[in-house]
C-alpha cells in the first residue's frame, strides 16, 4: 500500500521510526497515532473536517467549529504540511482529505454523540450561511448532516426538497 509506505517514511523522517516489533498493525492505527501527537487545535479541526466530508467547505467548517481566523488557518496549514489534507484542485474554498483512509480513521475515533453534535452544528451553519448569503446550500450537504445528526424531520424535509429540485431538472430517477 503506497499510503502505508508513505506514512512509515514520514514517521522515519520525523525520527519516530518504529522498532521491528513495534510496527503499526494497520494504516488506521498509524493515522490515529499521528493525530495523537498533533496539537489540540489540529485534532479538533480534523474531527470537524471528517464529519463535514471527504472534501469540505472551509467557511462552513470554520463557522461550525467557531474557531477564529488565525487559529483556523494555522491548524489547516499544519494538517496540510502533515500530509493529511490538501487543497481542492477545483476550488479555493475547499480542501480534501489526501486519502479517504485518513477520514475514515478520524471518523472511527469519534464517539457517536460527538459525531451527531458536530453534524448538527454543520447543518445549522450551512443553513445560516445560505440564509445570510441568500443562496441555496447544496441539499446533499443538508441531507447528509441531518442524517448524521439523527434529525429525522430535517433529513426528511431536506430529502423532499432535493427530490423536488431533481424533478424540476427532469431527474426523475434521481428524485425517486
Question: Which position has the higher pLDDT, 31 or 136?
Answer: 31
* Region for residue 15 given its phi and psi (left: phi exceeds 0; alpha: psi -120 to 50; beta: otherwise): left
Flag whether pLDDT at 18 surpasses 70: no
How many whole angstroms separate alpha carbon 12 and alpha carbon 161?
50
Q: pTM for the full model?
A: 0.80
Query: Over the stretch 102-143, which tens digit does the pLDDT of each residue have?
Result: 899 899 889 999 999 999 999 999 999 888 876 677 888 899
Query: What strands, in cross-sheet order, belong to the sheet with 85-87?
Result: 55-57, 94-97, 85-87
- In tens, the pLDDT along 59-75 reads 999 999 999 999 999 99
Region 72-99: mean pLDDT is: 92
The grid cell for 31 is 493515522
CA dihedral 66, 67, 68, 69 (to 10 degrees): -110
What confidence score (pLDDT) does residue 3 get? 63
Between 34 and 102, the more confident residue is 102
Burial class from Cβ neighbours inside 10 Å (0-12, 13-18, 19+) for residue 119 reads buried
> In angstroms, rounded to a whole number, what is the distance separating the alpha carbons of residues 85 and 76?
8
Task: For residue 35, give the nearest of 24, 89, 122, 5 by alpha carbon.
Answer: 24
Counting other chains too, the contacts that 74-83 makes at CB distance below 8 Å and 24 or more residues apart are 74/41, 75/39, 75/41, 75/42, 75/44, 75/45, 76/45, 78/38, 78/39, 78/42, 79/38, 79/42, 79/45, 79/46, 79/49, 82/10, 82/34, 82/38, 82/42, 83/6, 83/10
Kindly indicate the confidence band of residue 175, based on its pLDDT and cuts at 50, 70 and 90: low
CA distance 31 to 3: 11
Q: What percent of the chain is predicted at pLDDT more than 90?
A: 50
The per-residue pLDDT for 169 is 85
Amino acid at each position: 500500500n503506497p499510503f502505508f509506505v508513505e506514512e512509515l517514511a514520514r514517521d522515519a523522517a520525523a525520527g519516530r521510526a518504529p522498532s521491528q516489533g513495534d510496527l503499526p498493525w494497520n494504516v488506521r492505527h498509524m493515522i490515529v497515532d499521528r493525530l495523537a501527537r498533533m496539537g489540540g487545535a489540529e485534532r479538533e479541526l480534523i474531527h470537524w473536517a471528517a464529519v463535514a466530508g471527504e472534501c469540505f467547505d472551509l467557511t462552513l467548517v470554520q463557522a461550525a467549529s467557531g474557531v477564529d481566523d488565525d487559529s483556523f488557518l494555522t491548524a489547516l496549514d499544519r494538517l496540510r504540511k502533515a500530509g493529511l489534507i490538501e487543497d481542492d484542485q477545483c476550488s479555493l474554498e475547499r480542501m480534501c482529505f489526501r486519502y479517504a483512509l485518513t477520514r475514515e480513521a478520524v471518523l472511527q475515533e469519534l464517539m457517536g454523540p460527538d459525531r451527531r453534535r458536530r453534524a448538527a452544528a454543520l447543518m445549522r451553519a450551512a443553513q445560516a450561511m445560505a440564509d445570510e448569503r441568500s443562496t441555496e446550500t447544496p441539499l446533499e450537504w443538508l441531507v447528509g448532516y441531518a442524517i448524521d445528526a439523527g434529525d429525522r424531520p430535517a433529513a426528511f424535509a431536506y430529502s423532499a426538497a432535493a427530490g423536488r429540485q431533481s424533478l424540476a431538472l427532469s431527474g426523475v430517477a434521481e428524485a425517486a
